[in-house]
Structure 1
């Protein structure tokens, strides 16, 4: 009797969940293993034959055995079919990209193209951005190429005015060099373009001919609605209204995006289930009045379908809206026609449909976050709501507590995904959402009516926009106050796959608290996953300690990260500064964030030129800095003054080491300062560079900043053979004024690493220096050619690390 009464999870009630999980597993396999499409087809054929054999041929003779094997082969069939679907998509994408490779022969040349605009937006620098499906390309010498491909184009507002999605255009463009990943943990823009089927990018120079899309063009409608928002609201409020109502975040400043993210409010700008729910809510209230009539049911479904389709259209058919709209349609259909409305199963149905349409959505952050959030709410909230006191459950306070609980559950439930993609986790999200979400129930539907109808009655709807602008100001204020402080979030390092296993079993454990027979089985799995994580940590701690030196590619500048054997972190120089940005925010901070580095034990600045201290302000603002070491010589520049003031505000000690000092950071290594010397008697700031030799075991590395001939001669005369090093960070970006023969005779490095920009205005590297480096070293490296360069030492020898996958 006990066996009969033992609990069995009702898998039959969740068929879509089973298919979704099997599909996800199958789609992942081609991305993890190098399997050709033909190999996958063979596997699919074998599995299909096995399923047919046990399901139809052997079923009459061996009922029980054939049924069991049929179930196994059916599961394998879903997996292999998903593998084939993903492989087919990847194969088609690869063929399309390969067929369009000829366009890369015309890098930095002007071409004329004809095609259709399929996507628009703005780049991080604020430039207009278009994705175009090209049908015809006019090459030099009047040659015409009919090959189809997708290209991403950047434009200024003067050259792109009046362009909308769905427009057919003839343009004059300039082709850029296709991008490659330049730094570890840096965004691989080229890989991302290829994942979107885009095989080229360039500059839009001039629109020669334009045929705008018809009145049914959603791109045109979207463009006009965005213009309505600009006319209705002040610029700052307009950018927030676009993000909040249409999911158009391109006009938001990087600062605003960061504040919303750290406040846990990014989801309100990613138009999704929350917005779709507010829009369809009035129709759901009318559903009981439609139940009694067959025509009423179909009328309600048609109205809902049109509504969802129109909203998805004006939001650009974003993946999040498409997912939410599909789920809303399925739920409404189930309610209207009294079908089974198991929310978990219907959510899985939506996921299966979207994966069938595009299997690569599985690897999209938006897909993972939106479906992850829905499943977490459905699994955890029934248990979480038990903590709401009974006296509040049916009052307005209960609703407010539920909002806070949902936010808390989702934020905590999505922790590993948020950490993996963004490296940060908001801890003020529940409070921020409680202050904002109730207002969205009014702002979203009313705001949409106002911005769509403004062109019809501008005077009336302009008045309606006044209270909306006030609410937008409130939302912006909440994001600024809660997300603009260091206590609003925590930074997270690299997340291992074991953490995801712990996360999964923890959610399942909570969701099965009232199912004892199942609860303990999942709890055991949770404990096994925790033990696996602890084992990983023990193995990691037992690994031999190494020194790692990474010369980041910051263009024409220097930025070197040194990771010591005892996990101390040093930064040698902070890259370059330019009016359009700096290496701190563009390269160094993303790199540190990805590696989970929140503290620098020392920053060694060779000298205060803008190509060596360019990112210091941003670094101080975002990373804890223990001590700054720099040359004592003063320098007149606004950048230097700003950085010094910022260091003073943060109470960061600034030390001025000179030749003969030792910088103590990690007891396993020594940092000997060899320059500058006191009273060098030169006005050339390059010759006051902070130079040092780092020694770990039997290996050493030499750093000389931008030291030129005068300082190098001085170093050679004072230190002589002590300069000999295995790795030499080439001075002054391989200029002809540095790495002189008299200096290199003493250094005699095995490896040289030069940091410089490709085709820079200083014409570095100097021809004479290249010859000398080749003469005095065995391995020569240039960031301008290779991107970031990484070496590791075990105390015996330096080995180059290949950081690209």
Structure 2
């Protein structure tokens, strides 16, 4: 093979890329093994490597040239890796200290404290509540003690007084502290982790405001507040949230439905202010670059002007990672253009990554950081070759520009598939068409809308005239997102992507980027085919393995909701959680859970009895998902909720099946339910709990027992009638662990190995009862409570039941 067909990666011309890859290796190493190596040990090893490198440079400088080069390079690589690891450990130590110093506040959860704080930022939550981030300088504890430790808190408004709070305001207020949020269910967003990532260690509701004083100092908070206020005044209430998201990246006022539409249509990136938006802002400036070349100080003045513009826009958007990355790249490109020193774009991207990772190494595990840098890297590697597919005669016309937009969207959507699947479980194939319909208009709407929002306070008439076309663009964007994301259903669900999918992704991208180099092309093709084969082998292995029954006890507070996935892939719910005037478990837990796993229909819902803490989420569930059948006992009940689900079943033509003791329900060919209660010929107890639909779920040699809210009377009936047939591996304890359930006569027959209680940590019934817990414990069962553990997942291969750990989608990519 001649020199024209060989290829060697140009690390020498891409020094920043080499450094950032080594830093990333160090950060990942510290992420996984940081506990086994302290910060001081890392610093010690780094110092040793540094001295060894200096020694190698000095002592081996005159002889052993090859060895000198190899040894020095090795120590240099080790130093960069250790530098990345040390930076990550330092950032984690700082975060740990920030969290630890606020630990005393956990003693006052659900109590009221008085805080003196400065409002840093404000907005509105998806539920319509005012939300603020504030820095607290003094806290008055409930017993009157003063605590002067500073910390950041997230505040939720409760009345109209909170509308007076603006960024920069000093406030003294009574705040009811909430328990710090934890991940309670498999689909939950890690809200607590998100707060910690922003340095926030507490959150609570404002109950009363004692004093407000304006801070006249000008800061980024005030500027952002000024722009947001102008956007609210310029745009109508329907379009203002979208305008804020598109122009300054403020998405907190968007509804869940809007976010979902944009995500499924492949347009969510336009709301994550990034390189595209920075490009729109600086495009007019780049047109002036030739003018700056004409006079002596033009280059310096141009660079200063660009620096101020980029810092200003980054500050306006809250210095997000995507904007900082794009701003750094834009500054470097502008510098190179002004001074005729343009270098490789990949190297500039690596420089931006180095700067951001030095500032905050944990950004590496942030989904926004990964999506942002991956998207730009994919464009830089593949787009030059993809551009050649556009016919030359239209490549530089408006038609070519439109095709380029579509190409970029296709490349980015396909290139980000594994990351999107890992974090969000969905992939939009409608993205290219949706982007082609939207992105060209954004190039006008973003700079014009932003300019209008600044000028509104000075020239309101001109601003209102300027934003008329922006209003039309926003309406069009919303319609496109709704059409492609909702009406067209332009997305597919992808669950638990394989590691080999990432290998296919990497080799595919590198193969496309190096397609003009035969040596690279064939190597990448071999690796790609190998990765595809390993991916298929893994899929075949999964298909041929023993199918599993998966039982998920969801955390719905003081209620019941259990999801059953049969070995044949069918889906059932046992009960549907709670209802209260503020919402229900269907909307808050069950529907998000099903959507998270890409479940489109339910094969059945089994209702133990008609109390609101067991059927509360059913109406919402019925409205959102097709349901093949609803199974319940024939116990009549007088409640609006009971009447609602029966009426909905008639309207939606969902069959309701009455089941009693002795009936059998076949969930799939491998899984059966044996109905144990209520009894057919026994007069119904006036207490609906004692008429609960109780059943034994059997898969292979493993068995599960569900008893609803069965109390003493029904448990006695079950024990007397079924005896040893109640002996199961797994028990869902009755009535949330109350003193009237889990009675000795019943537990002696069941003898479970595992017992699960669905109960709220704070409840007015004092559940679980001590005697009930002791009865189960004395039977030898391993006890689990949703109040302590959150949702609980168990799997059975037909021979043994195992507890599974919850895997979070929105988490670090490598953990």
1:22-54 C-alpha deviation (Å, 9 max, x unpaired): 111111111111232122112212322332233
Residue from 712, 721, 726 that aligns with 1:723: 726
Aligned length: 805
Look up the match of 1:658.
660
Q: Structure 1, unaligned stretches of length 5 or more?
A: none
Contact 1:549 1:792 in 2 (8 A): yes
Corresponding position: 1:25 with 2:28: no
Look up the match of 2:764.
761
Corresponding position: 1:735 with 2:738: yes
Contact 2:123 2:253 in 1 (8 A): no
- Matched ranges for 1:598-609 at <5 A: 600-609=602-611
Corresponding position: 1:180 with 2:182: yes
Residue from 338, 358, 361 that aligns with 1:359: 361
Residue from 74, 77, 101 that aligns with 1:75: 77
| CA spacing shift, 1:231–1:409, aligned 2, 3 Å | same
Q: Which moved more, 1:111-120 or 1:285-294?
A: 111-120
Q: Structure 2 CA distance, aligned partners of 1:617 and 1:404? A: 42
Contact 1:494 1:596 in 2 (8 A): no
Q: Structure 1 CA distance, aligned partners of 2:585 and 2:337? A: 55
Look up the match of 1:521.
523
TM-score, structure 2 length as denominator?
A: 0.91
Q: What's the secondary structure of 1:161's corresponding residue?
A: helix
Q: Structure 1 CA distance, aligned partners of 2:224 and 2:739? A: 55
| CA spacing shift, 1:418–1:578, aligned 2, 3 Å | farther
Q: Structure 1 CA distance, aligned partners of 2:14 and 2:648? A: 57
Contact 1:674 1:691 in 2 (8 A): yes
Contact 2:703 2:728 in 1 (8 A): yes
| CA spacing shift, 1:181–1:204, aligned 2, 3 Å | same
- Matched ranges for 1:291-330 at <5 A: 291-330=293-332
Corresponding position: 1:673 with 2:679: no
Q: CA deviation at 1:133?
A: 2.8
Look up the match of 2:812.
none
Q: Structure 2 CA distance, aligned partners of 1:42 and 1:593? A: 49
Residue from 738, 747, 754 that aligns with 1:751: 754
Q: CA deviation at 1:637?
A: 5.7
Q: CA deviation at 1:232?
A: 1.8
Q: Structure 1 CA distance, aligned partners of 2:665 and 2:222? A: 62
Contact 1:159 1:205 in 2 (8 A): no
Q: Structure 2 CA distance, aligned partners of 1:397 and 1:486? A: 26
Q: Which moved more, 1:595-604 or 1:103-112?
A: 595-604
Q: Structure 2, unaligned stretches of length 5 or more?
A: 808-814
Q: CA deviation at 1:503?
A: 0.8
Contact 2:321 2:356 in 1 (8 A): no
Q: Which moved more, 1:348-357 or 1:456-465?
A: 456-465
Q: Structure 2 CA distance, aligned partners of 1:724 and 1:782? A: 21
Q: What's the secondary structure of 2:676's corresponding residue?
A: strand
| CA spacing shift, 1:149–1:288, aligned 2, 3 Å | same
Q: Structure 1 CA distance, aligned partners of 2:605 and 2:330? A: 53
Q: CA deviation at 1:416?
A: 0.9
Residue from 589, 608, 611 that aligns with 2:613: 611
Q: Structure 2 CA distance, aligned partners of 1:643 and 1:483? A: 29
Q: CA deviation at 1:624?
A: 6.3
Q: Which moved more, 1:269-278 or 1:482-491?
A: 482-491
Look up the match of 2:278.
276
1:42-76 C-alpha deviation (Å, 9 max, x unpaired): 22123223322333331321112211222222222
Contact 2:726 2:749 in 1 (8 A): yes
Q: What's the secondary structure of 2:16's corresponding residue?
A: helix
Contact 1:493 1:597 in 2 (8 A): no
Look up the match of 1:496.
498
- Matched ranges for 1:401-440 at <5 A: 401-440=403-442
Q: Structure 1 CA distance, aligned partners of 2:333 and 2:725? A: 75
Residue from 784, 792, 795 that aligns with 2:787: 784
Q: Which moved more, 1:555-564 or 1:591-600?
A: 591-600
Look up the match of 1:695.
698
Look up the match of 2:811.
none
- Matched ranges for 1:348-497 at <5 A: 348-485=350-487, 487-497=489-499
| CA spacing shift, 1:117–1:98, aligned 2, 3 Å | same
Look up the match of 1:116.
118
Q: Which moved more, 1:153-162 or 1:365-374?
A: 153-162
RMSD value over aligned CA atoms? 2.9
| CA spacing shift, 1:47–1:638, aligned 2, 3 Å | farther
| CA spacing shift, 1:564–1:205, aligned 2, 3 Å | same
1:755-804 C-alpha deviation (Å, 9 max, x unpaired): 12222234433456445445555333322233223444454554544558
Q: Structure 1 CA distance, aligned partners of 2:47 and 2:439? A: 51
Q: What's the secondary structure of 1:387's corresponding residue?
A: coil
Residue from 695, 705, 709 that aligns with 2:708: 705
TM-score, structure 1 length as denominator?
A: 0.92
| CA spacing shift, 1:213–1:605, aligned 2, 3 Å | same
Residue from 60, 66, 69 that aligns with 2:68: 66
